[in-house]
A and B are shown apart, each in its own frame.
Chain A
């Protein structure tokens, strides 16, 4: 196995991009990444594209070829592969690209993610996202995606000391970070009151506990570490890549409030890298809902079960805390174009490790982690990056 490095990154601004089509979103991100890596299109050996549901959002399948075509690479005939695992499609695309380079099969590989969600009405979008859970036995009876995480939150708050205010603080913190991120969908700070006064979506979760519907794309370029300096002075090493699965339904989990797939992928990643949670300078976790960030912090091992609410309240996970969580603004404030999110997490960590994160820079960041969840925890991808 070869060591792998990220040599370039690019990301579109996230938001409701009425003027931009699916394919142009991707091309914008890809061009930024190639430019950053100083790589010419014809040097690319392969592409992996994370995308949850172009079929339902824009009625387009076969997007591997579509994207290679519009990237101007049709005549190069490179392999271009779509990767799908609901909201963790991006994280899995990144992992497939890492595997391709590490194995020696390919050298210069693009890992990208794209989702164009606003070309359908909100109801249709909610229904498409429900497909990340079990359509036959969750969606059929009226379970929405926020509804499933709400049931997780009800269980968690029944068993552990988490206040409604601590949960709201997750969103407040992520909006603070988003306000310092030029690509974030929401660049406004909010207060706990903003969250508590927003409308209920699925009790106890309110509108400001939920990540938004977003258009966006992100791309990163990978190369074998030994070739990385041909392209960049600031390669970022992939120290670990781990992935785990669990039951598709929330109701079949061993423990509703613990994402066992996060625990498994996290442990494996730490083991591969030879690191512990104490070694991590910042982490991008999958905060599709505020409760998801609480669980992620605990399930990755940054604190014990039941302690993440207090940790958040005490500012430990804030930008200047000892373990900054979601410096990008997370899914909550930066936005959540589902297939692109896993790649955007890598984009954020790479910017931090290069010292290019501007107003949200974590000083002296050397090691960062990404945590990308599909569904309510049926798929999890964890990566550790370092300089």
Chain B
């Protein structure tokens, strides 16, 4: 991933800045600039998500792509944010700890590095809330 491609998404990846359609009230993360419900009648504004959520489903990645090979095994989950949207994220916990319905809290973490001399990608992972 090029430096510019990572850089332009820093507000979203670091601070969970998504969007909301003020016409229908729906929240979007990752951000959408076009509301699928209201379409052109929609009005999209930025929204900072609190980040708290619940694990909807999960897995443990044991065979990863090149950038993540050294981190295996790691827990991956779909998290439903309290505002409604669902996102895919890593959960920082032991493989046997994760479960459906687990409450989670966002943390700022290193996600991966773009090779040995490339930029380090930071972003949001989750930890068990309890």
Contacts and interface: CB of A to CB of B under 8 A. Distances in A.
Contact of A150 (B59, B64, B88, B125): B59
Interface string B47-62: 0000000001111111
Interface stretch (A49-57, A69-77, A173-181, A250-258): A250-258
B77 interface: yes
Interface in A198-251: 199-205, 249-251
B21 to A, nearest CB: 15
Interface stretch (A11-19, A135-143, A278-286, A320-328): A135-143
Contact of A142 (B58, B64, B87): B64
Contacts of A141: 76, 88-90, 111, 123, 125
A64 interface: no
Contacts of A144: 61, 63-65
Contacts of B30: 136-137
B66 interface: yes
A126 B68 CA distance: 11
A142 B57 contact: no
Nearest to B29: A137
Given A124-B66, A140-B121, A203-B95, A154 B59 contact: yes
A146 B63 contact: yes
Sorting the interface of chain B by its residue count into under 10, 10 to 19, 20 to 34 or 35 or more gives 35 or more
A123 interface: yes
Sorting the interface of chain A by its residue count into under 10, 10 to 19, 20 to 34 or 35 or more gives 35 or more
Given A136-B30, A141-B123, A142-B74, A202 B66 contact: no
Given A136-B30, A154-B57, A155-B57, A203 B62 contact: yes
A225 B30 CA distance: 48
Given A127-B66, A143-B88, A251-B87, A203 B9 contact: no
A202 B57 contact: no
B95 A137 contact: no
Contacts of B67: 127, 142
A203 B59 contact: yes
A252 B57 CA distance: 13
B78 interface: yes
Nearest to A252: B86
Given A151-B57, A154-B100, A199 B90 contact: no
Contact of A202 (B61, B88, B123): B61
A251 B62 contact: no
B46 interface: no
B71 interface: yes
B76 A151 contact: yes
Given A142-B90, A148-B88, A250-B78, 17 more contacts: A123-B66, A126-B63, A140-B112, A140-B123, A141-B76, A141-B88, A142-B61, A144-B65, A151-B78, A155-B56, A155-B57, A199-B62, A202-B61, A202-B63, A202-B76, A203-B62, A256-B57
30 contacts: A123-B64, A126-B64, A137-B30, A141-B88, A141-B89, A141-B111, A142-B68, A142-B90, A142-B111, A143-B61, A143-B88, A144-B61, A146-B63, A147-B59, A148-B88, A151-B58, A152-B57, A153-B59, A154-B100, A200-B60, A201-B62, A201-B63, A202-B59, A202-B61, A203-B95, A251-B86, A251-B87, A256-B56, A256-B57, A256-B78
Which 10 residue pairs across A and B have the least CB separation, nearest first?
A150-B59, A127-B65, A155-B57, A123-B66, A251-B86, A203-B60, A151-B57, A251-B78, A142-B68, A202-B59
Interface of B: 1, 9, 13, 30, 56-69, 71, 74, 76-78, 86-90, 95, 100, 111-112, 121, 123, 125
